[in-house]
Amino acid sequence: MSDPAGPRAKRPSLGRGLAALFGEAGTRLPGEFGGAQTVPIEAIRPSAFQPRRHFAESELAGLAQSIREKGIVQPLLVRPVAEGAADFELVAGERRWRAAQLVGLHEVPVIIRQLGDSEAFEIALVENLQREDLSPLEEAEAYSRLTREFGRGQAGIAETVGKSRSHIANTLRLLGLPAAVRNSLEQGELSAGHARALLGAPDPAALALEVVRRGLNVRATENLVRRRAARPKAAPRGRDADTVALERELATALGLRVTLAPKRRGGSVTVHYTSLDQLDRVVTLLRRQ
C-alpha cells in the first residue's frame, strides 16, 4: 500500500504522546472516519509494520483479565485495506487485539483512518516507544527500516518519534554489534547501556562475555573498554592472522569464547563456557549438524 501523502509531505510530530494518535487532544485527525465504531474482530488483520516481535503470555493474560472486567477502554487504531480476507489492518493496539481474542470477544471498538505505509509504521513505533514495549534492538531495527524502506533521515525520525537525533544515531549503532553481543542484549544479559559501551571495544564479543561473567554494571563496562583500548596490542606468538580471525568467527557464531591450538598434525578447538545454559546451547548447535 503506497503512502498517499507522498515523500515530500509535511509529517506531524507524533512524539507528543498516545493521546495525539487517537484525537484525544480535541482536534480532528486527518483521514478519520468519524469517531470510534465497532467492527467484527475477524475483520482485522495484524500489521506487517508492527516493530514489536515478542508478546509475553503473562502480559496478554493480565490484559485479557482487565478486558473481561472493564472491556476495551481505548479503541484500536486501524486502516482500511482493499486486498485479502480482512477489511482493516491494525495500526496501533495489537496487545488489546490479541487479548480480546483470548477473551473471546466477537467485536472490538476501532478508530478508522486512511494512512499510508510510512505513517502507519511511524504510529505503531511511537505507540510502542511511549509504552516502553520495545527492546533496544527492536527499536534500532524499526529506525533502520524507516530509513531503508521509506527514506527517512535521522533528523526526520527524531522529530517524528520525539527523541533526540543522538538517541536515534546511538540506537542504530547497536545493529553494528556482533551477533553474539546482540543475542545477549536481546536475552537481557546486557542492557542498552552495556551495548553502547561495547561499541567502542576492540573485541566486543569477547568483552561482552567478560561483562556477563563478572556481572559488571555500565560504568564498570565503560572503564573496562577504555583500559582494553589503551592496552598495547601484542602480536600473539606462534599464531597467524588466519587462526585469530577464525577464532573470532567461531566466537561470533557460538556466542562464546573459542580458542584454536593448531599443531603439526591437526590441533584442538576449545569452547569456553561459564554456565550450563551456555553449554546446552553449544550441545544443541552440534546436534543440529
Residue 19 to residue 25: CA distance in whole angstroms: 6
What does DSSP assign to residue 115?
A: -
The letter for the amino acid at 246 is L
CA-based angle 43:48:53, to the nearest 5? 110
Cβ atoms within 10 Å, residue 23: 16
Residue 135 to residue 149: CA distance in whole angstroms: 21
Element (H, E) at 140: helix 136-150
Q: Is 132 marked active-site? A: no
Whole-Å CA distances, 187 to 87, 135, 149, 162, 183: 36, 10, 27, 27, 6
Decide: 160 and 13 in contact? Cβ < 8 Å: yes
Q: Which one of 42, 57, 69, 94 is the catalytic residue?
A: 94
> What are the residues whose beta carbons fall under 8 Å from the beta carbon of 251, sequence distance 6 or more?
180, 205, 206, 257, 258
Question: Would you say the C-alpha torsion 288, 183, 254, 246 has a positive or negative sign?
Answer: positive
Which of 139, 136, 223 has its CA nearest to residue 182? 136
> What are the residues whose beta carbons fall under 8 Å from the beta carbon of 26, sequence distance 6 or more?
none
Residue 34 to residue 50: CA distance in whole angstroms: 25
Active centre residues (catalytic): 94
